[in-house]
């Protein structure tokens, strides 16, 4: 776990209560496009937002960090978490804002009040 925050106070109409960012070691290196460039990666980052219960909608859940899409989210079975995977660790910086929307409309995002605070000193800053 690189960063995690929880609050008792819910944020916005989606009732967000927190987030977690985890580094995941991939079983093998893969070639992927990151920031428009082909790269070989051996790690991914799982971003999970908690709250809800989240509605299941026709538009996909989108997790944002600042003004960049981190990934399209998948709800857990109890609709209390939405998780996305990103291969772009440049998104993970101290002070980053985590938010959630349905579809890619920036104006419809609900932001978490807690900013990203990385637990490992000197990483991704």
Total-model pTM: 0.88
Please give the share of the chain, as a percent, with pLDDT higher than 70.
95
pLDDT of 25 strictly over 90? yes
Angle at 63 between CA 57 and CA 67, to 5 degrees: 125
């Amino acid at each position: 776990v690189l960063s995690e925050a929880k609050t008792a106070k819910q944020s916005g109409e989606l009732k967000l209560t927190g987030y977690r960012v985890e580094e995941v070691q991939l079983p093998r290196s893969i070639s992927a496009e990151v920031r428009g460039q082909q790269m070989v990666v051996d790690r991914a980052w799982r971003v999970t937002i908690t709250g809800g219960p989240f509605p299941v909608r026709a538009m996909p859940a989108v997790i944002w960090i600042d003004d960049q899409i981190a990934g399209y989210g998948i709800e857990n079975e109890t609709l209390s978490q939405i998780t996305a995977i990103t291969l772009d660790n440049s998104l993970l910086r101290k002070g980053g804002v985590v938010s959630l929307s349905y579809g890619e409309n920036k104006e419809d995002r609900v932001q978490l009040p807690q900013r990203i605070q990385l637990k490992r000193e000197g990483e991704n800053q």
